[in-house]
Amino acid sequence: MRIEARLIAAAALALPAFAHAAADEYVQVPTVEYGEREIDFKYGTRRFDDANERESAASLGFGWGATPWWFTEAYVKYHKEPGERTRYDAFEWENKFQLTETNKYPVDLGMLVEFEVPRDRDEGYELKLGPLMQFDTGALRWNTNVFLERSFRTRGDEASVTEMKYQAQVSYHLANGLDVGAQAFGDLGKWNDWAPREEQSHRIGPAVFGKVKLGEGRQAIRWNAAWLFGASDAAADNAFRLQAEYEF
């Protein structure tokens, strides 16, 4: 399918909605595996030293490569505030569109459109969308994503704004089948009027990536994990995140 048609399909899903960074945040990649199904688990925990508190988040989802250029996934999210029990937090529907053929151009390009329905109806609905980019420089593989997020139909007093966030990742393939690298995440504030530096949240740290084949066919477990450190005053001082996918 031509790139123009894929862009139209992606834009058709870009309807009103917001989001906030969670402890189980992860880096999106632009490629789609047609016909692949996956069970996806994400977990994250982070600590703010000033408050001496730790919060955690997790999600469990099911995804499917519906076409050679469209991957869709639905999952439920859980959250644990400091001193409270883990509880259901939101339902999310994620759609990824691969806009270019893999390795055909200098940059592989995709688009993400993601809807979230929080448990707390006062938070309204949430939308995240933006480009996904992947490219290689020698033995290094790079991923850079920029997203816009907004909430709609909220019941609070504060007006909703469109916020800008980013993800970045670099990985180096080792001979033993593992990749090592780094990941970074950031929240910049309003998309056209960034927050002051001290109010922005930037997280960065080392990451490791792996894939374990399970017999014949496409069955495999793909995973990645990172230890992130706060690179700004508003960020958590340290965080651990893990993603594991069973592909079949």
pLDDT, one tens digit for every residue, the chain (248 residues): 454 444 444 434 433 333 346 889 999 999 999 999 999 999 999 998 776 789 999 999 999 999 999 999 999 999 999 889 999 999 999 999 999 999 999 999 999 999 999 999 888 899 999 999 999 999 999 999 999 999 998 887 677 899 999 999 999 999 777 999 999 999 999 999 999 999 999 999 999 999 999 988 899 999 999 999 999 999 999 999 999 999 99
Q: What pLDDT is attached to residue 215?
A: 84
Distance CA 248, CA 198 (A): 44
Distance CA 175, CA 157 (A): 55
Q: What pLDDT is attached to residue 157?
A: 64
Q: What pLDDT is attached to residue 44?
A: 97
Q: What pLDDT is attached to residue 122?
A: 84
Q: What pLDDT is attached to residue 237?
A: 93
The CATH number of domain 3-247 is 2.40.160.40:
yes
Q: What pLDDT is attached to residue 8?
A: 40
Q: Using the structure block, give the residue that is written with the tokens 């505030």.
A: 81
Q: What pLDDT is attached to residue 52?
A: 74
The structure tokens listed for 180 are 């090592």
Q: Output the 3-class SS for the chain.
A: CCHHHHHHHHHHCCCCCCCCCCCCCCCCCCCCCCCCEEEEEEEEEEEECCCCEEEEEEEEEEEEEEECCEEEEEEEEEEECCCCCCEEEEEEEEEEEECCCCCCCCCEEEEEEEEEEECCHHHCEEEEEEEEEEEEECCEEEEEEEEEEEEECCCCCCCCCCEEEEEEEEEEECCCCCEEEEEEEEEEEECCEECCHHHCEEEEEEEEEEEEECCCCCCEEEEEEEEEEECCCCCCCEEEEEEEEEEC
Distance CA 99, CA 7 (A): 7
The structure tokens listed for 8 are 């139209």
Every domain of the chain and the residues it spans: 3-247
Cβ pair 219, 244 in contact under 8 A: no
